[in-house]
Structure 1
Amino acid sequence: MNTVKKVLAVVLAAALLCLTLTACAQGASNDPKDTLIFAQGADPRGLDPALVDDGESSKVIVNIYEGLIKYAKDSTKLEPCLAESWTVSDDGLTYTFKLRQGVKFQDGTDFNADAVKFNIERQMKGNATEDMPYADFVYGYVTKVEAKDANTVVITLKDKCTPFLYNLAMSMAAPMVSPEALKKNNNNVNEAPVGTGPYKFVRWDKEQSIVLTRNDNYWGEKAKTKNVIFRIIKDNSARVVALNNGEVDMIDGIDATVVDEITKAGNTVDQPDGMNINYMAYNTQSSICGKPEVRKALSQAINVPELVKSLYQGYATPADTILPSFVPGFSKDIKQVAYDEAASKAALAQAGVTTVHVITYSNPRPYNPATGKALAEAVQGYLSKVGVTCNIEVFDWTTYKQKVKAGDFDICFYGWTGDNGDPDNFMSLLSDKDPSMNVSRYDNAAYLDLIAKGKAAAEGADRDAIYAQLEQNQVDNSVWLPISHSKLLSAYRPVVQGYYYHVTGNIFLSGMSKTK
């Protein structure tokens, strides 16, 4: 280990000691087996599932909260959770849920039909605030919520919505929050989360750590490990050093360059196929990228297969489609704009495009473990060959989200890890009115019409064909340049038992334990 890494390791060890002492002050045990430590690359934006839309928040949220429905451990197949069962009316508009009885929120208040009604109505049209990015996505079709009795909830939709049940299992908007906690915290529990899940919140030291402890009153199987610490370690190499030195138990946000280093230290790299898309987005409202012909020409300058091979070294595949191959609606017939440097250079010269304003993020993402900065610089190299200068600004993830929403850019880099395995979850991004979701600000009547048809269509070949048409619409208008579908790279020490990283990019810790 070189001198820099040795110094870094000492600093990390000191930080860990401080965290352990803090946890002990909260009543935690000194036994290392009693604490799981997971390190990620950025601070959560918040811990209120209605007010966030990022993976860093989601990984913590799924350990504190639950929804009416959940996904299976190894897929997005639906399973009961806070709802024991449900039925759907013949016309597809009325959903009746029978709730699990005897469940308490972590503040001791009852989970019941009134709590479900409160959570949903909080995010329905007329009540939802601008900082609720998933509210319309999950509840936009809901017209009425009724608490028929303490354990029965009836939800009425305005139109058929095939993805609705899948949306209710997501980690954003769908999890149930204690109504009393929301009332006490002015409708915002970003820093005071209260759910029904296997772990409850202890403290959050911004940019450093989040501490959770076991919910001993949990209705289901109790968490195997008493305490959980989410460590925030922004630097990729620092996270690897922390793992290899035994200072943390699990990490994500790693790339191909550190796989050998991790495995040589005796740790395991987990690498399932990811349900994700890594893409370059054009701001369709910018003075430069508002023209489809300019977007196409910029895309033609970039040799995507070459870029993916160089940057991801076999841990990602080039993307022709937005949808991963195992998601319904995927079509092998969809092909993106082909690489053509000469055509790109001529078209951009004719359009008078010599510079573009690019913004990107500094940290790794599940869909882009190489960091947004590395991806932007690779694209910068290609565009320089066709006479275009990229003026790149790099921001930490929290700031970057704000910059994207503000819209002062020509090109940004983004991605998506599927929430629920339904094609609408990917393709609706380009129809959303929220610019933090629809970062390209795409507004196309034909696209919107197809989205509506896709939501209402029954699962099967006809519905799949609608999503293939949506993919083609995006290609024809060069709204995004899809880059890659990445493997979900994470790593863990051999002392961790029961490790798994869900296809949605979440880490469910209650079933994991440590041998020492």
Structure 2
Amino acid sequence: MKKRTRLLSFVLAAVIACAGLTACSGSKGSTASGSALASGTKSRAQDTLIYAQGADPRGLDPALVDDGESAKIMVNIYEGLLKYDKDSTKVEPGLAESWDVSDDGLTYTFHLRKGVKFQDGTDFNADAVKFNIERQLPPKVTEDMGYASFVYGSVKSVEVVDQYTVKINMKAACTPFLNNLAMCLGAPIVSPKALQDNNNNVNEHPCGTGPYKFVSWTKGQNVVLTRNDNYWGTKAVTKNVIFKFIKDNSARVVALNNGEADIIDGIDATVVSQIESAGNKIYEAPGMNINYMAYNTTKAPFDDAKVRTAISQAVNVPELVKSLYQGYADAATSILPTFMPGYDAGIKQAAYDVEAAKSTLAKAGVKSVHMITYSNPRPYNTANGQALAEAVQGYLSKVGVKATIDAYDWTTYKEKVKAGDYDICFYGWTGDNGDPDNFMNLLADKDPTMNVARYNNPDFKALIDKGVATPAGDERNKIYTELEKIAAKDAVWLPISHGKTLCGYRSNVKDFYYHMTGVVFLSGVSKG
């Protein structure tokens, strides 16, 4: 108990020190929560929720990052025009109270919520929406805006009708567009003033309209948020939230069991009993994700589909998944999760066949491969990328291929993937919006941190475009099934698994849930 008291005292001292800074700008000033903390009122442990994850965010600007570690923090700071239902990807009103769609699907008119302010005190209105969208459209869009094409690729222009009405005109019909506007990356609305004050980059100065506002980011240690007492909706239950970064899986478990963290993620099957035996709880839910191995299709020998197929044949996926994930993941036979529109149980990847793999690889002269991977757990791969790479390395040794592995922390790994110096990389995806395009478009995206296989198939891309424009229903579902078939035939990826979501939390934590899109909304979470 003494250790827990000391830790919380230290953490709260950090919050007190930081809360005197005005949110978003970082300039000196006072906030409602900061004043309360500094007034001499004795804070209780219940006033601070500590969430431990495996790595720092890449940044806190929703237009400039594309990773889950960033998203988990940002959804508590920002909001979009739309949001998802708590238990699904059904779209609900957010900063837009209602919307109209023209019969031809080319015009969306959004009626905005009134009286909403950004955390820097400026007004949310139609001009702010226009500013945010145009920031991610040509000619202003920049190469580091990885989600711009995902969210706004079909947008032609944005018009301010009046202060609280905005019209979005489309270049072509886009069935996923409403779902896209609820995504946690690309779509959230940032304070235009904060963007202007920070040279169009608020990675370290986030400012939205959400229930929590930014206080500080100590790299390698934590991000501190405090309640936005001017929030337009239901105020956050817990005053302060600290996202703590603990790289090692076992160390996060120790932190939870010692009371140094209230919630942890990135855990695997091997620690479930350890968590439960300490009196803590496990959150488990189906994951909307895919964990995969990708071939660099732009470089020999993996510019040859026969070689990619042979390497895939060398890996016994069901055996690997059973060994690594021990029942907390299902072996993947396709890219799409089984509950996603377009999924077809008849689609199969290259079947495990050691002799066929040996023969093809020997004829192609493939004796070694260079693999890169990540060292921390991910929502789709709780065993971490290095453990997965080492398992594949073992299989490849049985077919006469020596695999070298370079493992990096997540932030560095993203840069290595972008550089493209690898034969094979390990990656994954947690669905943003419940639409099959969100998965299959990964093999058509121009961004190499999205399309890590660097796959470039004009026919595939044309079918992607057709799927986006086709209304929801059987015809559209068949398009995504066909895309799955093409990807399997070309052996672009070796799908590994669909992971279940696992989190650990203290027994006194109430109303915690992990959304199927891989983020955590903490404003309703409390400690008893």
Task: Give the TM interval when normalised to the shorter protein.
Answer: over 0.9
State whether residues 8 and 45 of structure 2, in contact with CA within 8 Å, keep that contact through their aligned partners in structure 1: no
Whole-Å separation in 1 of the counterparts to 2:283 and 2:241 = 20
Unaligned runs of 5+ in 1: 1-8
State whether residues 125 and 136 of structure 1, in contact with CA within 8 Å, keep that contact through their aligned partners in structure 2: no
State whether residues 39 and 233 of structure 1, in contact with CA within 8 Å, keep that contact through their aligned partners in structure 2: yes
Secondary structure of 1:64's aligned partner: coil
Whole-Å separation in 1 of the counterparts to 2:8 and 2:235 = 26
The equivalent of 1:303 in structure 2 is: 316
Whole-Å separation in 2 of the counterparts to 1:67 and 1:23 = 27
Determine which of 352, 355, 364 is the counterpart of 2:365.
352
Whole-Å separation in 2 of the counterparts to 1:471 and 1:184 = 45
Whole-Å separation in 2 of the counterparts to 1:429 and 1:316 = 22
Instruction: Spell out, residue by residue over 1:274-325, the C-alpha distance to the aligned partner (whole angstroms, 9 max, x if none).
Output: 0000000000011221111100000000000000000000000000010101
Whole-Å separation in 1 of the counterparts to 2:349 and 2:477 = 19
State whether residues 35 and 225 of structure 1, in contact with CA within 8 Å, keep that contact through their aligned partners in structure 2: yes
Instruction: Spell out, residue by residue over 1:152-185, the C-alpha distance to the aligned partner (whole angstroms, 9 max, x if none).
Output: 0000010010000100000001000000000000
Determine which of 101, 106, 123 is the counterpart of 1:88.
101
Secondary structure of 2:481's aligned partner: helix
Whole-Å separation in 1 of the counterparts to 2:170 and 2:152 = 9
Determine which of 282, 285, 299 is the counterpart of 1:286.
299
The equivalent of 2:26 in structure 1 is: none
Are residues 1:394 and 2:407 paired? yes
State whether residues 82 and 96 of structure 2, in contact with CA within 8 Å, keep that contact through their aligned partners in structure 1: yes
State whether residues 175 and 471 of structure 2, in contact with CA within 8 Å, keep that contact through their aligned partners in structure 1: yes
Are residues 1:483 and 2:475 paired? no
Whole-Å separation in 2 of the counterparts to 1:266 and 1:507 = 22
State whether residues 300 and 340 of structure 1, in contact with CA within 8 Å, keep that contact through their aligned partners in structure 2: yes
State whether residues 24 and 30 of structure 1, in contact with CA within 8 Å, keep that contact through their aligned partners in structure 2: no
**How much has 1:15 moved relative to structure 2?**
6.2
Determine which of 138, 154, 168 is the counterpart of 2:151.
138
Determine which of 329, 338, 354 is the counterpart of 2:342.
329
Q: TM-score, normalised by structure 1?
A: 0.97
The equivalent of 1:4 in structure 2 is: none
1:68-467 alignment runs, 5 A limit: 68-467=81-480
State whether residues 440 and 483 of structure 2, in contact with CA within 8 Å, keep that contact through their aligned partners in structure 1: yes
Secondary structure of 1:36's aligned partner: strand
The equivalent of 1:38 in structure 2 is: 51
Instruction: Spell out, residue by residue over 1:367-400, the C-alpha distance to the aligned partner (whole angstroms, 9 max, x if none).
Output: 0000000000000000000000001000000000
Are residues 1:22 and 2:14 paired? yes
Secondary structure of 1:358's aligned partner: strand
Q: TM-score, normalised by structure 2?
A: 0.95
Whole-Å separation in 2 of the counterparts to 1:292 and 1:280 = 14
**How much has 1:20 moved relative to structure 2?**
2.5
Whole-Å separation in 1 of the counterparts to 2:121 and 2:74 = 19
Unaligned runs of 5+ in 2: 20-33
**How much has 1:247 moved relative to structure 2?**
1.0
Q: What is the one-letter code of the residue matched to 2:296?
A: N
Are residues 1:511 and 2:503 paired? no
State whether residues 98 and 153 of structure 1, in contact with CA within 8 Å, keep that contact through their aligned partners in structure 2: yes
**How much has 1:30 moved relative to structure 2?**
2.7
State whether residues 7 and 260 of structure 2, in contact with CA within 8 Å, keep that contact through their aligned partners in structure 1: no
Whole-Å separation in 2 of the counterparts to 1:338 and 1:310 = 18
Instruction: Spell out, residue by residue over 1:217-253, the C-alpha distance to the aligned partner (whole angstroms, 9 max, x if none).
Output: 0000000111100000000000000001111100000
Instruction: Spell out, residue by residue over 1:65-110, the C-alpha distance to the aligned partner (whole angstroms, 9 max, x if none).
Output: 0000000001100000100000100000000000000000000000
The equivalent of 2:61 in structure 1 is: 48
The equivalent of 1:474 in structure 2 is: 487
Secondary structure of 1:271's aligned partner: strand
Secondary structure of 1:467's aligned partner: helix
**How much has 1:16 moved relative to structure 2?**
5.5
Whole-Å separation in 1 of the counterparts to 2:16 and 2:511 = 25
Q: What is the one-letter code of the residue matched to 2:455?
A: Y
**How much has 1:19 moved relative to structure 2?**
2.5
Whole-Å separation in 1 of the counterparts to 2:248 and 2:5 = 15
Q: What is the one-letter code of the residue matched to 1:356?
A: V
Whole-Å separation in 2 of the counterparts to 1:264 and 1:236 = 17
Whole-Å separation in 1 of the counterparts to 2:86 and 2:497 = 25
Structural RMSD (CA): 1.2
State whether residues 65 and 175 of structure 1, in contact with CA within 8 Å, keep that contact through their aligned partners in structure 2: yes
Provide the identity percentage. 67
What is the total number of aligned residue pairs between the two structures?
506
Q: What is the one-letter code of the residue matched to 2:465?
A: A
Whole-Å separation in 1 of the counterparts to 2:119 and 2:291 = 37
